[in-house]
Amino acid sequence: MAKTRISKARISLRGISLRPRSLQALFVGLVALACLSVGTSQAGPIQWATVGDPGNAADTRSGANTFGRGAVTSSFQIMKYEFTNQQYTDFLIAVAATDPYSLYNPLMGSDIRGGITQSGVSGSYSYTVRQDMGDKPVNYVSWFDAARVANWYQNGATSSSSTETGAYTLLNGQTSGNAVAVNSDASYFIPTQDQWYKAAYFAPNYGGAGVPGYWVYATQSGTNALDVNTQPTAVTAGLTGIGSAGDLGNSANWNNAAVWNGATGNVTTVGTNGGPSFYETFDMSGNVYEWNDLNGLDGSGRQGRGGFWSNTLPIYLSSSIAVPYSPSEENVGLGFRLAAVPEPSTWVMGLAGLACGAWQAVRRRRRAR
């Protein structure tokens, strides 16, 4: 391990001698480099969950939507929560002043369960989150919309960041037809079916220490989708749409039980509808279906998993159900969350933060003498 010697004259690290003034300049440069990579981002913060245990075995339970699902060879990250109306509004404000790719669906503003309004004219469109809807999952988004969000993040999430290349190469403003394959160097992307499935249902100690397996529901519950004794309890909602379960327990938003804002059955605040999966992801059972990218190759179909607020049978919230969709589908019960792999800028920021902290420690020590 490297040994650092602090003195009034200089700091020595593995034989490299730097005076405090030079070290300060180095640290400031690191901080500036980190800030340069993210300082102009218009994206709100994303909370990530790390899905480890690479090389896990696939699900062996019978069923077309369970058998062979969930095996992933490498670790990755996935959003802890569904992509929200606030996050999607930030995206629209940055890139959709003219909206040539129909990223905004008018039903977001007219449906009581939608969360975003658009005003103005093409070229100067503005977007606003509807009252109490900022922390609810965005809906009325197609696979193409989610792919453009991934591209935006891949390219820095600024007002000048492209939505057409990066994680996915979308040619000629494509908004319909076949979904395209994810690019090999994608840092942000729509999770594949196996990635989504693993994040929702897999647990390395499902059957006891060192005995992996798959839960039926993404609340770490259930061994049989038809067993009513292990199905999630349907949450109710408060006046502003906060789920009644908080972040604990075997509950989910389904069966039209969340009654608020004049709607019998509605989206609810992400992360307030029951306990998480093993990997600390929330609402992967209920609230809204979520896009997955199947195997990541191009094709005419994609898929939604997890169920939504209006399902009256709990099996739709379980690992047994996957709903096929055209990539251009947009509806009130369909949203998404992104997956990611670590980016170089993440490491730069981490190193810069450590450097800044170390320098502050040096300065405090010097002042104390």
Asked if 186 and 323 sit in the same domain, the reply is yes
Q: Which domain holds residue 162?
A: 43-337
366 vs 338: which has the higher pLDDT: 338
Q: How far does the chain reach from its first CA to its final CA, in angstroms? A: 27
Q: Is the pLDDT score of 55 beyond 80? A: yes
Asked if 191 and 333 sit in the same domain, the reply is yes
Asked if 170 and 203 sit in the same domain, the reply is yes
Asked if 16 and 66 sit in the same domain, the reply is no
Amino acid identity for residue 3 in this structure: K
pLDDT band at 31 (very low <50, low <70, confident <90, very high): very low
Q: Is the pLDDT score of 119 beyond 70? A: yes
User: Could you tell me what percentage of the chain is helix, strand and coil, using 3-state DSSP and rounding each to the nearest 5?
Assistant: 25, 20, 60
The answer to whether 266 touches 237, Cβ cutoff 8 Å, is yes
Q: Is the pLDDT score of 285 beyond 70? A: yes
Asked if 31 and 107 sit in the same domain, the reply is no
pLDDT value for 5: 38
pLDDT band at 40 (very low <50, low <70, confident <90, very high): low
pLDDT value for 226: 72
**Domain CATH number, residue 78:** 3.90.1580.10
CA distance 163 to 152: 5
Distances in Å between the Cα of 77 and the Cα atoms of 4, 288, 341, 342 are 34, 20, 6, 8
pLDDT band at 306 (very low <50, low <70, confident <90, very high): very high
Distances in Å between the Cα of 74 and the Cα atoms of 34, 55, 194, 298, 346 are 27, 7, 12, 21, 19
Asked if 105 and 223 sit in the same domain, the reply is yes
Distances in Å between the Cα of 244 and the Cα atoms of 110, 234, 250, 286 are 26, 9, 12, 14
Asked if 18 and 87 sit in the same domain, the reply is no
Q: What is the DSSP letter of 168?
A: B
* Max CA separation in the chain (angstroms): 72
b/e map 304-325, b = 16+ CB within 10 Å: bbbbbbbbeebebbbbbbbbeb
Q: 260: closest CA among 244, 238, 245?
A: 238
The string of pLDDT tens digits covering residues 80-104 is 999 999 999 999 999 999 999 999 9
CA distance 111 to 108: 6
Asked if 354 and 333 sit in the same domain, the reply is no
Percent share of the chain, pLDDT over 90 = 78
CA distance 63 to 320: 7
Amino acid identity for residue 74 in this structure: S
Asked if 67 and 17 sit in the same domain, the reply is no
Give every CB contact of residue 297 below 8 A, 6+ residues apart in sequence.
Answer: 181
Give every CB contact of residue 208 below 8 A, 6+ residues apart in sequence.
Answer: none
CA distance 199 to 192: 11
| H or E, element range at 197 | helix 193-201
Asked if 139 and 286 sit in the same domain, the reply is yes
Tally the domains of the chain: 2
Asked if 106 and 185 sit in the same domain, the reply is yes
The string of pLDDT tens digits covering residues 65-77 is 999 999 999 999 9
pLDDT value for 181: 98
The answer to whether 340 touches 318, Cβ cutoff 8 Å, is no
Q: 59: closest CA among 68, 48, 47?
A: 68
User: Token pair for residue 367?
Assistant: 């002042």
Q: 251: closest CA among 228, 267, 274, 285?
A: 274
- pTM for the model stands at 0.83
Asked if 198 and 85 sit in the same domain, the reply is yes
The string of pLDDT tens digits covering residues 169-203 is 999 999 999 999 999 999 999 999 999 999 999 99
Tally of CB atoms within 10 A around 346: 16
| H or E, element range at 118 | strand 116-119
Q: Beta 76-79 vs 339-340: how paired, if at all? A: antiparallel
Total number of residues shown for the chain: 369
Q: Is the pLDDT score of 364 beyond 80? A: no
pLDDT value for 19: 53
